[in-house]
Amino acid sequence: MAQDFAEQVVVVTGASAGIGEALAEELARRGARLALVARRKEALDEVARRVGGALVVPADVTRREAVDAARDAVLASLGRIDAWVNNAGRGITRPVEALTDDDVDQMMRDNLKSALYGMQAVLPHMRKRGAGTIVNVSSMLGRVPFATMRSAYSASKAALISLVESLRFDLAKEAPGIRLVTVFPGVVSTDFGKNALFGGPDSRTLPGAQPVGEVARAIAEALRGGPLDVYTRPDGLERALAHLRGAAGA
């Protein structure tokens, strides 16, 4: 495979499992210099070993100070950051009528604030360099909330989409060399469902679950260039548009 990321420094959060782990493997094959961020050091060490070496940065990305410290550790060790992928997150299995304050707060902390902290941490560095790419892994559920048991998760991912779009407007005027990408996976064959708050079906057992390697390749291609909204399924955009038309009564 061509080394199309040779010497580029890429930070991946949530890199100890699932999409983040698969993305680390994909980018390593393409020659990237990786910084892997997650809470579980032992799991990160194993991913780093498997990809042939990477900077391991244990951090809880739901804490702003931990994200800032992770950024500083990457810059101190690798000298710069070319791309930052906000991938960490968690699901929930609970319908709207049963949601508690804590449920909503946790989903917003894990899926929205963690990405906000990542963007705010790396943007000054990228503004100074005049270039960089930030990827936020959202979800099709942020566009089309067809799995109602994921209610607060869907809401947090919809909020992330809106936050990113607001920042895009600002960057287009102030820092056009910085790309801000949003990725929209559907059901992916990982342990996401199994690890959701209050449990739930294992995503790997669901019919039509997308192989995690396909999602990783889509994110890698998005880092290289192209559309700023990336649907990992070919019919993703059409499904989103059909939902919006239906909601509007078109």
Confidence check: pLDDT of 122 > 90? yes
Which CATH number goes with the domain that contains 160?
Answer: 3.40.50.720
Residues 6+ apart with CB under 8 A from 140: 184, 185, 186, 231, 233, 236, 239, 240
Is 38 inside any structural domain? yes
Is 63 inside any structural domain? yes
CA distance 96 to 150: 9
Is 140 inside any structural domain? yes
Confidence check: pLDDT of 171 > 60? yes
Is 3 inside any structural domain? no
Q: Nearest 5°: phi and psi at 183?
A: -110, 135
Average pLDDT over residues 125-153: 95
Number of domains in the chain: 1
- DSSP state, residue 97: G
Catalytic annotation present for 153: yes
CA distance 74 to 247: 44
Q: Which residues span the domain enclosing 207? A: 9-247
Helices (H), the chain: 18-29, 41-50, 64-78, 101-107, 114-129, 151-174, 212-224, 236-247
Give the confidence band of 1 by pLDDT, cuts at 50, 70, 90.
very low
| Residue with the larger pLDDT of the pair 104 and 198 | 104
Whether 53 contacts 29, CB under 8 Å:
no
Give the C-alpha distances (Å, rounded to integers) separating 1 from 5, 28, 30, 218.
Answer: 11, 11, 7, 15
Is 2 inside any structural domain? no
3-class state of residue 188 by DSSP: strand
Percent of the chain's residues with pLDDT above 70 = 97
Confidence check: pLDDT of 7 > 90? no
Give the confidence band of 96 by pLDDT, cuts at 50, 70, 90.
very high
Q: Pick the catalytic residue: 5, 84, 117, 153?
A: 153
Is 4 inside any structural domain? no
Is 222 inside any structural domain? yes
Whether 186 contacts 145, CB under 8 Å:
no
Residue pLDDT, tens place only, 222-245: 999 999 999 998 888 888 888 878
Is 1 inside any structural domain? no
